[in-house]
Structure 1
Amino acid sequence: MSIRVKLYMSYIAMVIVPLILMSAFMIFIFYARGVEDVRQYFEKENKEPYLQALVYGELSYVLRNDAGELEKQEYLAEIQERLGEQWAGLLVSRDGQIKSVAPFLKEAAPNADWQNLLDQPPSTVTFNSFRFETSAVDFSYPDGGKGRALLFRRYDTVPIYWRPVGTAFSLAFIGLTSLLLTYFVSRSIIRPIKKLEAAALQIKDGDLSHKVEATTKGEIGQLSIAFEDMRVRLKQSIDQSLQYEENRKMLLSHISHDLKTPISAIKGYVEGIMDGIANTDEKRIRYMETIYRKASDMDQLIDELFLFSKLDLQTVAFDFKVIDIRRYMEHFLDEQRFDLEKSDMELIYSIQEAEPLFIAADPDKLSRVLTNILNNCVKYMGEHTEPASMKILVQVMEQEQHVLIVIEDSGPGIDEDDLPFIFDRFYRAEQSRNLETGGSGLGLAIVKQIIEGHGGTVWAENAEHGGARFCLKLPKSATVKTVDDHEEHTNH
């Protein structure tokens, strides 16, 4: 719920809730006293002025035309009783002396100074918290005596203090209701803001581990969600920066180690030539060939480091083209087969279907991936496998949404402890870090970066009959337009 709606609802509730509660209170009164009793009470209240008028009319006639009736105790008692039923009473005097005080008045004001009221009648008087109007009528008795009748008639149907008390109660009730509504509405706004303030202070102190929960909807809930998104992105940015820093340190460490060894070897061979140790043409040629090979290894390592750094920083531009992966693999493997046969490697390309199978890929980057995997197979099979049994099997299989490329060799396979890490940067199953036996440790890491840049996945496993199996899973392309063979295999 938005803050605006909450405020509108609180304003409306400040008006409606007191009315509802007061109505409930009145219903409770009806229920407590009974509907008939309450109805009779109000009917009596409504009829009271009419009944009073009847009695007053009769009394007025008697005072003007038949004042002698007031000397009869029976009639006087009757008229006093009838007036008392109408919340009224009569004070009668003869020659200044009080002859009769209504029992109703005595009960209402037992300590009143009736004589003073008779002599100096006020316009209104208060008895027992009720206000009464007074009417004085002077008359003459039949024998010539002077009489005065002072009539007291209840003016208010409720005690006089009920109005201010009721007003004060209503104001207090409305004020309390407003305070409670304001409290609950403000708390529903202030508490989430306080949580956001605490989260902001934690972020200011560098603590990004506490999640910001959106406990409400509306503006504050949206603010909490935006705040949480900011925290997550800020944490990701910091974590990424820390990871880049860690990668940089590890890169420098591995570069220094991988370059130091061949540089030391080159220096040693150069010193051998300078000191005359290579004193024959045969030795000098062997020394120079070794220096050239070490320099070539260093050049290849630097190229791989440069490519991996750009891939890691996502600064390499991919030139995607829609290609038929079956034709692409056929032409690529034909080019590789000649070089592999020189190393006594048999390269087998298994074609299950001849229909085109299209993917969107960068032909040059994909060529680098396949070359790195084949070189890895050749390197490890050459160390542990007999020449007659060195084979590499390549298959392309179509799946529902992807294309699966499987490259399987007949070597010794990959140690189970090494399988989860072989695509990590600088990881070598051969721990001596010798470039001639273990490689740079970046070939398969580059493979992973390029395949993920294509939106695919790569993994390695051991085949059932032994040997390593590399699996490349790439998404199929919905477009069937192909590039020509010349474009597909440029720079292979």
Structure 2
Amino acid sequence: MRTVRIRKYMVVGVLSIVVFPWLVYCLVLQPWSQWHSPRRQVALNQVMNEIVKNPEDWKNPAWQNHLREQLADARMEATILSPSNHEVFSSGHRHGPQWMPSQQTTVVENGQVLGTVRVFASTTNVNSAVAAISALAAVMLAISFVAFQMGRQVVKPLESMSRAARQIAEGDFDFRLPVSRVTEIAQVRSGFEIMVAGLRESFQKQARLEEERRFFIGAIAHDLRTPLFALRGYLEGLEQGIANTPEKMAKYVAVCKEKSDQLDRLVSDLFAFTKLEFMEQTLHYDKVDFASVLEGSVDSLRPQAQDKAVSIIMQRPAYECVVRADAHLLERAINNLLDNALRHTPSRGEIFVKWYKAPGKIIVSVRDTGPGFSGEELNHVFDPLYRGEVSRNRATGGVGLGLTIARRIFRAHGGDLVATNHPQGGALLTGWVQDV
């Protein structure tokens, strides 16, 4: 929709108030006046003929009364002067700007001057009244039209935005703003709608975050309570002497150690997740040998893999690769990928780890021979505390934050982490970081 700037709009409004009455005069009043003027001329000629043709009745009272009536009907006045400029007849008062001389004639008969006739026409006639009324009506009509347009294009949109602002303050975003052809009002309306859209999205995001926060707190409470409950039970068993043999005591102590390790991993992951979430931890960038970091992570996981009879096969190129990264966080991300693969790989399974260089980035992939991801898991695998287990049991030992933390670390290094299923089966996690 084409718009007009408010200054131009105001100029057009003022010109409408000035020009419209003038157009009314030119198109209506002037033609009517021109039509009415010949009638006045005919009346003037009749009066002059009546006076000029009857000089013998100039002093006749009956004739004078008849002439006065005729002059009154024509809204005229007349004066008859003798040759010596003495007033023979006068129809009334003729002083002031409202009486203008229309015609003057000297009456001569047989070469002798009988007198002078002067006829005066009134300027305050019907034409003037009609003109004044018409001009006033035209001005009022123009003002009403301009006021209507100003109310429609300026006042109404501003009032609507004022009401909308109060609705927004009350949390109500359901409203519509009228369209305006004034450029400034249209720009304010557009900016207002953009602001409302941003606020609506912000409120929706805040509601989602609040829902996630409730879920997060509930899930953490559940995850902390489960090992604590088991740990407390076994400790009470030791305290009450239920474990009355060295074998039972050793078993109880081993279980307590296992549960404390679970708590330690959970608290460690929560601490790391919180730091990455709220940017409380700054990255310590340094030149890092990517292959060394990867080999160190694989070597640290081999004892656990051997206990589970899982083989880790590493494929690496012959060339070296140095990246600019935080070595500690990068190693943690790779450890989380390997730990996830180990937990989901069955006994006598295999884990394939490889890395290679691509234009502008270093890519690492971890593939296992487990069941892979289901369709629902692929949509939520990086959600905090999601493990794809409705019961949230700890048979696999996972906390549900490992892949979330790994992805955020990769993204902090200018890359990303994606999860897919390998065509030959098993889960495939592929991450990359920016090359130096």
In structure 2, distance between residues paired with 1:288 and 1:239: 49
Q: 2:354 matched to 1:394? A: yes
1:369-448 alignment, distance < 5 Å: 369-381=333-345, 384=346, 386-387=347-348, 389-399=349-359, 404-448=363-407
Residue type at the aligned position of 1:348: M
> Structure 1 185/411 Cα, relative in aligned 2: closer, same or farther at 3 Å?
same
Residue type at the aligned position of 2:356: V
Give the unaligned 5+ runs of structure 1.
33-37, 49-80, 481-492
Q: 2:221 matched to 1:256? A: yes
SS at structure 2 position matched to 1:417: helix
In structure 2, distance between residues paired with 1:346 and 1:147: 145
Tell me if the contact between 1:304 and 1:443 (Cα under 8 Å) persists in the aligned partners: yes
1:289 Cα deviation after fit: 1.7
Counterpart of 2:142 in structure 1 is 177
In structure 2, distance between residues paired with 1:404 and 1:216: 55
Tell me if the contact between 2:315 and 2:353 (Cα under 8 Å) persists in the aligned partners: yes
In structure 1, distance between residues paired with 2:240 and 2:213: 39
Q: Deviations along 1:238-261, whole A, 9 cap, x unmatched?
A: 444433432332223222221222
1:273 Cα deviation after fit: 1.9
Residue type at the aligned position of 2:388: A
* Residue from 302, 310, 316 that aligns with 1:341: 302
Q: Deviations along 1:8-59, whole A, 9 cap, x unmatched?
A: 4422443344445655x27996xx9xxxxx9xx99x9xxx9xxxxxxxxxxx
Residue type at the aligned position of 1:317: Q
Q: 2:416 matched to 1:450? A: no
> Structure 1 318/233 Cα, relative in aligned 2: closer, same or farther at 3 Å?
farther
1:20-419 alignment, distance < 5 Å: 22-23=25-26, 25=27, 84=45, 90-94=52-56, 120-122=89-91, 151=117, 153=119, 155=121, 160-210=125-175, 215=180, 218-312=183-277, 314-319=278-283, 321=285, 327-328=289-290, 330-342=291-303, 343=305, 344-351=310-317, 354=319, 361-381=325-345, 384=346, 386-387=347-348, 389-399=349-359, 404-419=363-378
Stretches of 4+ aligned residues off by more than 6 angstroms? 85-88, 105-112, 116-119, 136-142
In structure 1, distance between residues paired with 2:131 and 2:179: 45
Give the unaligned 5+ runs of structure 2.
81-87
> Structure 1 9/296 Cα, relative in aligned 2: closer, same or farther at 3 Å?
same
SS at structure 1 position matched to 2:55: strand
> Structure 1 150/92 Cα, relative in aligned 2: closer, same or farther at 3 Å?
farther
In structure 2, distance between residues paired with 1:203 and 1:91: 90
Counterpart of 2:426 in structure 1 is 467
1:152 Cα deviation after fit: 5.8
Tell me if the contact between 2:368 and 2:426 (Cα under 8 Å) persists in the aligned partners: yes
Q: Deviations along 1:106-145, whole A, 9 cap, x unmatched?
A: 9977989xxx9876323689xxxx9875768688879xxx
Q: How many residues align?
A: 408
> Structure 1 366/174 Cα, relative in aligned 2: closer, same or farther at 3 Å?
same
Residue type at the aligned position of 2:9: K
SS at structure 1 position matched to 2:365: strand
Q: Percent identity over the alignment? A: 25
> Structure 1 3/154 Cα, relative in aligned 2: closer, same or farther at 3 Å?
same
In structure 2, distance between residues paired with 1:210 and 1:10: 30
